[in-house]
Amino acid sequence: MKIKFKNANVLDKNFDVLENQDLIVEGNRIKKIQNTVKDDNATYDRVIDCDGNYLIPGIKNAHTHNAMVFLRSLSDDLPLGEWLTKYCFPNEAKLTYEDIYYFTILGIMENLSSGVVGSMDMYLDLHAMADASLKTGFRVCICDTIQKFNKIISPEEYFIELNNYKGDNGNLVKYVYGMHAEYTNTEEIIKMLSDLVHKYKVPFFVHNSETKKEVDECKERWGGLTPTQVFEKFGLYDFGGGGYHSIYLDDKDMEIYKKHDIIAVTCPGSNVKLASGIAPILKYKDYGIKVAIGTDGPASNNAIDMFREMYLTTTLQKVSNSDPAVLNAKEILNMVMINGAKCIGHSDGDVIDEGKLADIVMIDVHKPNMQPLNTFVNNLVYSASKTNVKLTMVDGKILYEDGKYFINEDENYIYKKCNELLKNLLNR
Ligand SMILES: [Zn+2]
């Protein structure tokens, strides 16, 4: 399949705008970016006139639990403990393969409409998550969610199977070692995962220091060590990885992040809604720690909307540091595109350039909130919303365009099916 986007403004690898370009996609790669020169439209399977709209690299959602859409708005505005034990855990215990498959597809649709081309998804029934990715054509990096309360299925078997799932060979579906958190695991599990991380020399991802309580209780259990220090002690971070939330890191933790190139994955929407706190991103910047951004699950956010997350990531730093000059738009784009791509294991899809993966989003600037176009990247981070996403292409295929989904499933069927499955689940 050869597709030509013509009359496009293209955000280049430095996030500067190249005006009036043709961008040519062949297969799943960006073949060429050139000034509009000639009319060679007949040689393409499809020519898309961008009419001055902007092509940007696909956004990466570096931490989510997509299938948790089923808990959205079921129980809000409650204390954390009550919310988790009364509404989340009992309903999650009832989930089947079919539930997770369809709820994940609904989550994928929401990602696509937000300009997201791939997510790092941490949830239950990894086969259902992988099947939803292959069905829709959306990239997923499955992070294992091992915890002591659940039956642990061999993570090594998952590692081998899911990194070559049904012949996909890591193109859309990837798997990384991970566990839910320090407080939901045992020393035995930590050692088992560390052995696997060392055997395959691969990164490790985990919820890390989301709340102060989590860190305080960890210190009590481990003779003063924080979760980050526990993970380092057992070598889990020896080959890099990430920490979801990473709010309450001390200086020693930050040294560890820097030393092992651990990515701090911030989830500001979830953190403000659950009153968890504000991650000190500026400090991480001083340490040279990479930051990526995720939505967290739609039960705690409640939206999968990376535009909202981008806005919150920068504005929370401005307000918490009493300084409107910190963390500019290009730094935010670096987080959701380049660092996000590293998280999901697709660094060849980080920016728009010849030879890169064709993971591309078209931003409609023919809307009041995008005019005038004084500075496009500032418009993108401070005033754009998902309503400006006109098209989302993943791996050279258009999965979302003008409000319609091309994911091998009818969108209305997915809404109906998810509501039916939810009703059954709540009545079980
Ligand atoms: Zn999470």
Least confident of 73-77, 158-162, 326-330: 73-77
How confident is the model over 387-392, as a mean pLDDT? 98
- SS3 of 93, please? coil
Split at pLDDT 50, 70, 90, the class of 39 is confident
pLDDT value for 162: 97
Which parts of 36-187 are beta strand (E)?
46-49, 54-57, 59-64, 116-121, 139-143, 173-181
Contact present, 61 and 118 (Cβ < 8 Å): yes
Neighbours of 179 (CB within 10 A): 26
**Alpha carbon of 358 to ligand 1 centroid (Å):** 28
Average of per-residue pLDDT values in the chain? 96
**Alpha carbon of 63 to ligand 1 centroid (Å):** 7
pLDDT value for 178: 98
**Alpha carbon of 300 to ligand 1 centroid (Å):** 9
* pLDDT of residue 187 exceeding 80: yes
**Alpha carbon of 295 to ligand 1 centroid (Å):** 8
Q: Which residues surround ligand 1, an ion (CB under 5 A)?
A: 296
- Name the token pair of 174: 């990837």
Q: Please name each of the domains of the chain with its CATH number.
A: 2-57+358-405 (2.30.40.10), 59-344 (3.20.20.140)
How confident is the model over 62-70, as a mean pLDDT? 97
**Alpha carbon of 64 to ligand 1 centroid (Å):** 6
* Sheet order of strands, 59-64 included: 59-64, 116-121, 139-143, 173-181, 204-208, 241-245, 262-266, 291-293
Contact present, 61 and 310 (Cβ < 8 Å): no
pLDDT value for 155: 96
**Alpha carbon of 398 to ligand 1 centroid (Å):** 28
**Alpha carbon of 165 to ligand 1 centroid (Å):** 24
Split at pLDDT 50, 70, 90, the class of 83 is confident
**Alpha carbon of 56 to ligand 1 centroid (Å):** 27
pLDDT tens, 291-322?
999 999 999 999 999 999 999 999 999 999 99
pTM, 2 dp: 0.97
pLDDT value for 288: 97
146 - beta bridge partners? 179
**Alpha carbon of 297 to ligand 1 centroid (Å):** 6
pLDDT value for 81: 82
Determine the angle formed by the axes of helices 97-113 and 411-427, rounding to 10 degrees. Answer: 140
**Alpha carbon of 215 to ligand 1 centroid (Å):** 16
**Alpha carbon of 65 to ligand 1 centroid (Å):** 6
pLDDT value for 152: 79
pLDDT value for 170: 95
